[in-house]
Amino acid sequence: MSDVTGAADGDRRCPCTSGLTFGECCGPVLGGRRRAPTAEALMRSRFTAFAVGDREYILDSWHPRTRPRRLAVDDAAQWYRLDVESSTGGTPFDTTGEVTFTARYRENGERKALRQRSRFERRDGRWVYVDGSAAD
């Protein structure tokens, strides 16, 4: 797991917009001190990883079957808001889940949004991202 110390202050609001602090929410997940208990929690932690530039966590939380060899991340994108619209399955008792969300970001001064339906799978007791498609 990567060290996100300095990437986000533990007392500041978590970038995933859960309303919790980074130290209460995604910080321990990104730091490897706690696993995401649900597919939605993993989605939030992955958004936060994009927001703080934690490429290692993004790749580590990706299913090995679908994980890219190299991660192409646009450093000009500043991720600032996550709106989770729905979640199906993905509880601590499920093995699969789907989360539909809109992630908002700024790129070169322009506001943009990515709306996606992401699929997750629990492997060896740990949620991982499988893939995503544009949500209608």
pLDDT (average), residues 108-131: 96
Query: Would residue 88 count as lying in a domain?
Result: yes
Mean pLDDT (whole number) for 66-87: 92
Report the C-alpha gap between 128 and 102 in whole angstroms: 19
Residue 73's pLDDT is: 80
Query: What's 72's DSSP letter?
Result: -
Q: Is residue 13 part of a domain?
A: no
How many whole angstroms separate alpha carbon 10 and alpha carbon 40?
20
H-helix or E-strand containing 125? Answer: none
The sign one gets for the Cα dihedral 27, 32, 37, 42 is positive
Residue 1 has pLDDT above 60, yes or no: no
Question: If you search the block for the tokens 């994980």, which residue do you land on?
Answer: 67
Q: How far apart are CA 76 and CA 78, in angstroms?
A: 6
Q: Is residue 22 part of a domain?
A: no
Residue 18 lies in a domain: no
According to the model, what pLDDT value does residue 9 have?
Answer: 66
Domain extent for 71 = 27-134
Q: Percent of the chain scored above 90 by pLDDT?
A: 84
Is 113 domain-assigned? yes
Q: Is pLDDT of 7 > 50?
A: no
Of residues 6 and 134, which shows the higher confidence score? 134
Average of per-residue pLDDT across 111-116: 96
4 located within any domain: no
Domain count, the chain: 1
For tokens 């990515």, the residue is: 114
The DSSP letter of residue 95 is S
User: What does the pLDDT look like over 9-25, one tens digit per residue?
Assistant: 668 999 999 999 999 99
- Evaluate whether residue 111 is within a structural domain: yes
Averaged pLDDT for residues 121-125: 95
pLDDT at position 2 over 50: no
pTM: 0.90
pLDDT digits 0-9 by tens, 22-71 = 999 999 999 999 999 999 999 999 999 999 999 999 999 999 999 999 88
Distance CA 55, CA 58 (A): 5
Asked if residue 74 is part of any domain, the answer here is: yes
CATH number for the domain that contains residue 101: 3.10.450.50
